[in-house]
Amino acid sequence: DHLLDRCAEVNLRNGCAASSTTLERAMPRILIVDDEPNLRALLRRILEHEGHTVVEAPDGRHGLLLWRDQLIDLVLTDIYMPEKDGIELLVAIRKTRRPTKIICMTGASERGLLNLNPAAEIMGADRTLSKPFGKEALLSTIIDVLMEEGMATSGDPASHGNGVQRSDRIITILG
């Protein structure tokens, strides 16, 4: 409900009516891209509970296909995945210049892999998350990203920001 209230607040600030129909259309459409099915399912439950429409993909290749076919406001993507990784997905989306907010996440440090979160931000991610992270950290990061240029809505492509600005901070969340 907190995210719904914040989205309503941004819509009112941007001159949108706050009827229940407006709020339903105004909730961001989120694409979750991760090769871990249990994590995708958990993220889906959390975000749908907050009122979002959620689409999911098991890797960057499928994620890019879904992103191209649908109006997606925010992509929440893992970095290390088979087929096409999260960095490749990020670069492919940014090359199109179609405005989309992107949050990259990785559990690389847990598995002894190179942490690519800083590289993801340099390449155009709006924020990064380090796994594991909690529900509140996830939701507050999504709110922060959407509030940067006002909330983007899937119902109105003209309302999207330019989606190519680099964030000045890296969020590392342990939870």
pTM metric for this prediction:
0.72
User: What's the pLDDT score for residue 148?
Assistant: 84
- For the stretch 10-46, pLDDT in tens is 444 444 433 344 444 468 899 999 999 999 999 999 9
Q: How many CA atoms lie within 13 A of 166 on its CB side?
A: 10
The residue among 28 and 9 whose pLDDT is bigger is 28
Phi (first) and psi of residue 10, to 5 degrees: -65, -40
Other C-beta atoms closer than 10 Å to the C-beta of 71 total: 15
Q: If you average pLDDT over each of 64-68, 95-99, 169-173, which comes out highest?
A: 64-68
Other C-beta atoms closer than 10 Å to the C-beta of 148 total: 14
The residue among 1 and 53 whose pLDDT is bigger is 53
| Site of tokens 């999504």 | 142
- For the stretch 69-119, pLDDT in tens is 999 999 999 999 988 999 999 999 999 989 999 999 988 655 556 667 778
- For the stretch 122-165, pLDDT in tens is 889 999 998 899 999 999 999 999 988 655 444 333 333 333 33
